[in-house]
Amino acid sequence: MLTTVSQRLLLLLLLVVAVLPSAAGQDKTGGWRLAAESSPYLRLHVDNPVNWYPWGEEAFARARRENKPVFISIGYFTCHWCHVMARESFSNPGIAKQLNDNFIAIKVDREQRPDVDDAYMQYVMMTSGRGGWPMSVWATPNGDPFLGGTYFPADAGRGRPGMKQLLAKLAGLWKSDEDGIRETATNAVALLKKTAGSAVPLEKLTTAPLLEVRRHYAKSYDDMQGGFGPAPKFPQPARLMFLLQDEPQESADMALFTLDRMVAGGIYDQLGGGFHRYSTDFDWRVPHFEKMLYDQALIARACLFAYRRSGAQQYANTAREVLDFTLEEMHAAEGGFYSALGADSPVPGNETGHMEEGAYYTWTWGQLTEALDDRGLRDWAAARYGVAKSGNALSDPLDEMGGKNVLYRALDNRALAEAFKVDLVTAARRNAEVERHLRAARRKRPAVPVDDKVVAVWNGYMMTTLALAGRLLDEPRYIKAAEATASFVLDNLYAAEQGVLYRDWRAGERGVPAFSEDYAAVAEGLLALYRVTGDKRWLNSAMALVDTLLATFLDAVNGGFFSTAADTELWVREKEASDGATLSANAIAIHVLQLLGDLTGDKNYHRLAWQTAAWAAAQLHNTPAAMPYSLILWDCLLYTSPSPRDIEVHLVCRLLLEKRGGGGGGG
C-alpha cells in the first residue's frame, strides 16, 4: 500500500504528464496537426513536410517559448495559386526544413477565418499595394506582421523573390536585428489600428451616392463585352442587382448586356451549368475554373432580377440552370450546400494523378474528336463553341492552358442555322445531340475536388435566392429546397439554447463561431422564406438571429456592425461596407433591418437600418460605387430619418421598388 507521500508524488507525476505534449506528438513532423481540423483546405496540407499548426494559441505559445517568428500562410480550397505554392514550396523538403528550423508555420483557411484573413490582408495591402491568395505573412511571436506578400515561387523568378532566399534572409535578420523587426511590426499594427477607425455617420442621407454611382458605372462600363473595368473581369452580382432595380433604363441595359455576355462566355459552364469564378480576359472566355457557392447564389439572383425587370425568358432559364446545377452538384446529402468545386483536377489519362487547372472543363482537339466521331457533329460543335485545333485559350504563366479549348457560345442558334443551311428546329436538335455526347465524355473524366464544408453565410445567400426563384418562376420546388436548407442550418449550425450560430459545418462537426455576415445572411434567407410561405417559424428564427447580431456586433457609437465579436484576438475589429464577390455584412443588415421593420411595425429596426446606411455612406463617401447592395434600398432610406415615420411610408416605398424590379433579395 502506497504511503501518503508516495500517493502525492504519483498524483503530481500524473498531472505533469497530462499537461505536457505527448512524446509521440513531439516526435511527429509535418502537417499532422491539421488532420483534426474541419477545414478541407487545411486537411490538404496534412502530408506536407512543413510542421503546420492551425491558427490558435498553441502555435503562438510555442513561438513565444522558442522566440521564433511566425509564418502565416492563408488560402482556400479552390485557390489555384495556393495549390501551385503548395507543390513548389510546402512539399519541398529543403524549404520545409527552413520553415521548421526557423519559424512556426500556421495554415489558415480564409473562408473559415475571414477575420484573420481581413486583418493580415489590410497589412499586405498597406505595405505592398496589392493583395491576393495565397497570402504569405511573417509576424513576431505575438502575431504582429513585419513582412507580407502573396505567392512566392520556390526560387526567385516571375518577378518575385524565391521562398528559399527569402526564408534564409529573414532568419538571419531575426537573429541580427530582432529588436528592429519587432519595432517595425509594432509600428505597422499601430498604423493599422489608426487607419481602421470608423467614420462618423452622416446626419442626413441624400441622392448624391446614387448620382455618383450611376456616373461611375457608366464610365467604367465596357460597352463591347459588358462588365466593368479591365481584365480580369469579375461577375460583380451586387452591382448587377443594383443596376437592375435602378430607375433609369440605361442602368438596366448595362446589367442585361453584361449578363448576356457572361452567359455566352467561357466563364459559364456551357455543358454543366454554373459560373466559374472570374474571367482572365476582356471577353469572359477564359476563366479561373473554380465554382463558388456564393457566385451561384448571387449571379442566379441577378438573373432573377433581370427576368423581373425585363420579362425576357432567357434570364429565367439561366437562373434555373444555375440553381439546378447547384442543387445537383453542390448539395450535401445531409442538407445544406457545399462551399465550392475546385479549379484544379486530375488530368484525364494521367496515371500519376497530376492535377491542372481546368482539366475537367477544357478540351483538346483530340478529346473533341474522340467524343464526336461524326464529322458533321464535330464541325457543328467547333463552330458553336469556338473550338480550334491549336486551342482557343490563352496560356497562363505555367502554360497549363496551351493547346486547350474553353467552350463558349461563338454562334447562337440562328447564326448556326444560317452557317450550316438548316432550319432552327434542326439546329436545336443538333445542339442537343452535341451536348449529350460531350457531357457523356466529360463525365468519364476524374471529378473535380469538392470543398464540402457548409458555410452559414453562403447558405443564407442560397436560401434567399431559392425563395425568390420559387416565387418569381412559380416553382414550389425551389421554395422546398430553401426550407430544407433553412432547417439544416438551424439544426446543425445553430445552438438555439445559447443563441450562437456557427460559421461552418463539416461531417457532423461545427467549426468556429459565426461572424456578423453569417448572422445577417441567414436572417435574410429566413425572412425571404417567411415572405413566400407565411410560416412564422422563419420569422421568429430570423428575429432571434438579429437579436444576437445586435447584441454582439453592433457599433453602438457610430452605427453599423463589426465583423467580429468584441473578444477578438486580433488588433482591429473590421467594419466592412464594401461589396465585392460577396455582400458586406452591413449591406445585408440594412436589408434585414428594413424588412423586419416593414414586417413587424417596429420602428427601431428602421432606425437601425438608417443608422447603418448613414455610417456606410460616410465610410465610403469617396467610393459609393463600392456599396451597391446597400444602394438598392436607398430610395426607401431617403424617406427615413433617425426618428422614422409611419410604417406606411416604407411599405409604399417597397412597393415602388418592387414595381420596377428591386426591393431587396427576398423578392
Strand partners, 495: 500
For the stretch 238-267, pLDDT in tens is: 999 999 999 999 999 999 999 999 999 999
What's the pTM?
Answer: 0.91
Mean pLDDT computed over 579-592 = 97
For the stretch 263-295, pLDDT in tens is: 999 999 999 999 999 999 999 999 999 999 999
> Residues of the chain with pLDDT > 70: what percent?
91
List phi, psi (to 5°) of 85.
-65, -35
The pLDDT of residue 656 is: 57
Angle between the N-to-C axes of helices 476-492 and 536-553, in degrees from 0 to 180, rounded to the nearest 10: 50
For the stretch 174-224, pLDDT in tens is: 999 999 999 999 999 999 988 877 899 999 999 999 999 999 999 999 999
Q: Is the pLDDT of residue 664 over 60?
A: no
Specify whether the CB–CB gap between 456 and 504 falls below 8 A. yes
Long-range residue pairs from 497-502, CB within 8 A, at least 24 positions apart, any chain: 499/544, 499/547, 499/548, 500/548, 501/456, 501/545, 501/548, 502/456
CB atoms within 10 A of CB 5: 8
The pLDDT of residue 159 is: 75
Could you tell me if residue 553 is left (phi over 0), alpha (psi between -120 and 50 degrees) or otherwise beta? alpha
C-alpha cell recorded at residue 653: 416605398
Buried b (16+ CB within 10 A) or exposed e, 471-510: bbbebeebbebbbebbebbbebbbeeeeeebbbbbbeeeb
Reference 452, options 334, 617, 560; nearest CA is 334
Mean pLDDT computed over 58-79 = 96
Mean pLDDT computed over 395-406 = 72
For the stretch 142-153, pLDDT in tens is: 999 999 999 999
C-alpha cell recorded at residue 444: 468519364
Tell me the pLDDT band of 659, cut-offs 50, 70 and 90: low
CB atoms within 10 A of CB 12: 10
Query: Using CA atoms, how far apart are residues 317 and 265, in angstroms rounded to an integer?
Result: 16
List phi, psi (to 5°) of 9.
-65, -40
Whole-Å CA distances, 270 to 282, 285, 415, 433? 18, 11, 17, 14
CB atoms within 10 A of CB 72: 24
Tell me the pLDDT band of 393, cut-offs 50, 70 and 90: confident
Reference 574, options 488, 518, 516; nearest CA is 516
The pLDDT of residue 342 is: 94
C-alpha cell recorded at residue 510: 461545427
Mean pLDDT of the chain: 90
Going by the DSSP 8-state scheme, the letter that residue 87 receives in this structure is: I
> Residues of the chain with pLDDT > 90: what percent?
82
Q: Is the pLDDT of residue 69 over 60?
A: yes
Q: Which residue has the higher pLDDT, 2 or 531?
A: 531
Polymer length in residues for the chain:
667
DSSP string, 549-571: HHHHHB-TTT-SB-SS-TT-SSS
Q: Is the pLDDT of residue 395 over 60?
A: no
Q: Is the pLDDT of residue 349 over 60?
A: yes
Listed in sequence order, the residues at least 6 apart from 9 whose beta carbon sits closer than 8 Å to its beta carbon are none
| 114 prior amide bond cis, ω within 30 | no
Mean pLDDT computed over 44-67 = 96
The pLDDT of residue 13 is: 32
Residue type, 202: L
The pLDDT of residue 3 is: 43
Query: Using CA atoms, how far apart are residues 661 and 667, in angstroms rounded to an integer?
Result: 9
The pLDDT of residue 488 is: 98
Residue 360 CA, distance from chain mean position = 22
For the stretch 454-477, pLDDT in tens is: 999 999 999 999 999 999 999 999
Query: Using CA atoms, how far apart are residues 617 and 630, in angstroms rounded to an integer?
Result: 9
C-alpha cell recorded at residue 300: 442566379
For the stretch 126-139, pLDDT in tens is: 998 888 999 999 99
The pLDDT of residue 660 is: 53
List phi, psi (to 5°) of 70.
-105, 135
Q: Is the pLDDT of residue 642 over 90?
A: no
List phi, psi (to 5°) of 74.
-115, 130
The pLDDT of residue 28 is: 81
Q: Which helix (H) or strand (E) segment is 516 a member of?
A: helix 516-533
